[in-house]
Structures are given as C-alpha cells and as structure tokens.
Structure 1
C-alpha cells in the first residue's frame, strides 16, 4: 500500500501562485495542482472543496505573507526615506493585485495593505495633508511602474518620483 503524501498548505499555495504567474487563472485546476504537487486530485478536493476555494486560499495566503513582509519592512526602515521603504517591501506584482479586486474580501485585503503602505510613506514624507497626498501619488507611481514593467522598461524611476513629490 503506498504511503499517503502530505504537503503543507503553504507549499501547495506556492505552487498555485507559480501556476498563476506562469499561465494565469486558467492554468490552475485540481489536475494541474495535483501534477505539480504529487497529491491526488481527490485529496485537493477534500482539502479545499472547490477549485475557486483552493485558489482563494492561496491568494489569502499571499496577502498574509505580503502583510507580514510589509510590517517587517516598515519596522526595518524606521528613519529611512520612502524609497528605502518601498525597496524593503520588494517587488509586488500589480497584476496579481488587480486580479484579486474582483473578490470583495481580497479587495479589502488589498485596500488595507495599500492604506498601511501609504500611511508609512506619509510618515516618511512629513505630516499633514500634503504628506498624505504625496504618499498616495508615490504609491500609485510605484504600483504603476510594477504593473507596466511587463510592457517594457520605463524612463520614470522611483527615485525621480520621490524627488518630485518631496
């Protein structure tokens, strides 16, 4: 009798994210995840219930990880400027976030993360309405650069945006 294969959810979610990155939403099925993980499709059905629930669980794990990374970056860059904070957070695929905006719970996670990042940027830019406005513009420039990077390099650099907004 073969031994049951056990893979933690985090590993399954990483594989789902890779499949999403490589082939988009249509690349994720119980069959494709089963092939990539070595788990049987019925095991995945038993764990997650449906394909959409499996993908949603993976995306919620993504947001948990991003929130954690962001908190660590905020703490590690106290006293540094806005560009240092954004570099510490690291690259965030704007296309992943855009896909999540169709789900109300994931959209709320995205909005909460954005508010956290903008508040941390505003602290680094000063105080008052001008700092909050500049933080919002800088966040939009950062995510815009991330989104459009797939179309090729841009002449705009994050450090240039920071200079113009401060």
Structure 2
C-alpha cells in the first residue's frame, strides 16, 4: 500500500498526542509518527524540523483547541453556581479535554508552562464570576479548579471518588 503524500497537520499532531498519551514522551519519534500516520519520516522532519518541534506543535495545537473550548464554555454558561458546574462539565465533555492531563504532565517548555498558567487563571476567573465574585468566590474557584483537575487525572485510574456538584455545594454554601 502506498504512503499518503499529504495529511493535514491537525491529523499528524493528533497522532503525536495519541502516542504521547498512550506511550509517553519517549515513544514519540519521527519513526513512530511515520508509522502512525503513513507519512515518510523525511516529510515529518521537513514539516517540524525536530522531534521537540513536533511535540511542541502537537501540544500547542491542543492548547489552542482547549482555549477555544474555554471561550465557548464561558459564553454558553450562566453566571450562577449551576453555571460553574455547567462550565466545568462543558470543558470536561470535549475530546480535547481528555488531553488536559497530558498538557499538564510536562511543563519543561516555558511557553507551554506560561499557557497553562494563563489558562488556569482564566478558568478560575470564570468560575469565580459564576460563584458571585469577590475574595470568597476566588478562593472557592481555586479549590473547585483543583478538585476538578484531580478528578480528571484520577478518573483514568479508577473512577470518580466524589461528585463536583457535591464539592461545589460545600465550598460555595
């Protein structure tokens, strides 16, 4: 079977992220991505330059998608405690967010680390706004964000230990 001559970057980068998620950082190489996509290794080198450039591009594309999703979730959820829950539910429902733990797993790249910090601040601000604003709401938003992230991380290792709805009631009540 002949190799495809072209494949959109989005599909190549999704393959890189799948390899990262399934097998870790060390499994990503031009060879493994070539095998996953059917593109020739030299084609990948020509597109991305280095293995690190390919990984950075894959993670940057995931951040772009997550930031766009966050913007949509902010626009689509009401400014209430139920809106805070709906906001996190929207962020957690999309396939891109299954990569949140992947995005947070490696902050060696300063630019990606900066994006992560900015995204966290944005999510916490959106939550605080839905929880009424002010200092208490900002504190509750930080706790809720951390609980939500922990739930996403550990969900893969055996399910939910608690419901965000219950945590939201406790910290905003």
Query: Fold-level match, TM-score > 0.5?
Result: yes
- Give unpaired runs (5+ residues) of structure 1: none
Number of aligned residue pairs: give it.
Answer: 165
CA distance in 1, matches of 2:130, 2:169: 13
Deviation at 1:102, TM superposition (A): 1.8
What SS is found at the alignment partner of 1:153? coil
Supply the RMSD in Å over aligned alpha carbons.
1.7
Aligned ranges 1:59-138 → 2 under 5 Å: 59-79=59-79, 80-90=82-92, 92=97, 93-138=99-144
CA distance in 2, matches of 1:159, 1:4: 47
List per-residue Cα deviations over 1:25-46 (Å, max 9, x = no partner): 1221100111111111011111
- Give unpaired runs (5+ residues) of structure 2: none
List per-residue Cα deviations over 1:102-143 (Å, max 9, x = no partner): 211101111111111101100110121000010000000000
TM superposition score normalised by structure 1: 0.92
Match of 1:165 in 2: 171
Structure 1 stretch displaced more, 94-103 or 113-122: 94-103
Deviation at 1:97, TM superposition (A): 2.8
Deviation at 1:3, TM superposition (A): 8.7
- Moved beyond 6 Å, runs of 4+: none
